[in-house]
């Protein structure tokens, strides 16, 4: 799976989680850039990602996530891409 595909699919998840079409996903996008992206929304996003890609992120991986780019890297690594 290419990074571009992952960005597109993540975009869908973000649009559903934040109920807006105005989010443009960039690698450096992080919680401070998106209104309403708190620790609970963060959990929602991660669970949706885990379900979508049938992967499980461990506690260390979760703690290391700083932005969307980090998340995409973890997904790529875990899905063998």
Partner 1 sequence: MTILYWLPEIEDWRGRLRGLGNNPETAWDEALALANSRLDFIRTNALDQMISKIFGDAPPKNLSTKPIRLALLGSGTMAHLRSAIRIAGLRRGLWISIYENDYGQYWQELTDPGSGLHEFKPNVVLFALDPHHLAAGLGAGLGRAEAEHGFAELRDRLQECWRLAREAFHCPVIHQVPLPLHPTLLGNNEHRLPGSRQGLITRLNHALRELADAEGVDLLAIDARAAIDGLKAWHDPALWHRAKQEISPAAAPMYGELVARLLAAKQGRSAKCLVLDLDNTLWGGVVGDDGLEGLVIGQGSALGEAFVAFQEYARELARRGVILAVCSKNDEANAVEPFDKHPEMVLKRHDIASFVANWNDKASNLRAITDELNIGIDSLVFVDDNPFERALIRRELPMVAVPEVGDDPATFAQTLADAGYFEALAVTEEDRARGEQYQGNRQRERLKASTTDLDSYLRSLEMELIWRRFDKVGLQRTVQLINKTNQFNLTTRRYTEEDVLAVMEDSRAFGLQLRLVDRFGDNGIIAIVIGKMNGTEDLAIDTWLMSCRVLGRQVEPTTLNLIAETAKRLGARRLIGEYLPTKKNGMVKDHYAKLGFTVAETGEDGSSRAVLDLPTFAPASTFITVTET
Taken in order 39, 40, 45, 50, the sign of the CA dihedral is positive
Smallest gap from residue 46 Cβ to partner 1 (A): 9
Residue 75 touching partner 1 (CB under 8 A): no
Smallest gap from residue 53 Cβ to partner 1 (A): 14
Q: Which stretch binds partner 1 (CB under 8 A): 3-11, 24-32, 35-43, 66-74?
A: 35-43
Taking the C-alpha atoms of residue 80 and residue 38, their distance in angstroms, rounded to an integer, is: 29
Taking the C-alpha atoms of residue 77 and residue 71, their distance in angstroms, rounded to an integer, is: 10
Residue 8 touching partner 1 (CB under 8 A): no
* Binds partner 1 by CB under 8 A, chosen from 2, 4, 32, 58: 58
Taking the C-alpha atoms of residue 6 and residue 73, their distance in angstroms, rounded to an integer, is: 10
């Amino acid at each position: 799976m290419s990074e571009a595909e992952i960005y597109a699919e993540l975009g869908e998840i973000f649009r559903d989680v934040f109920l807006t079409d105005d989010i443009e996903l960039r690698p450096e996008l992080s919680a401070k850039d998106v209104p309403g992206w708190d620790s609970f929304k963060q959990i929602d996003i991660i669970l949706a990602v885990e379900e979508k890609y049938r992967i499980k992120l461990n506690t260390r991986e979760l703690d290391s996530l700083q932005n969307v780019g980090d998340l995409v890297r973890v997904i790529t690594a875990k899905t063998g891409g």
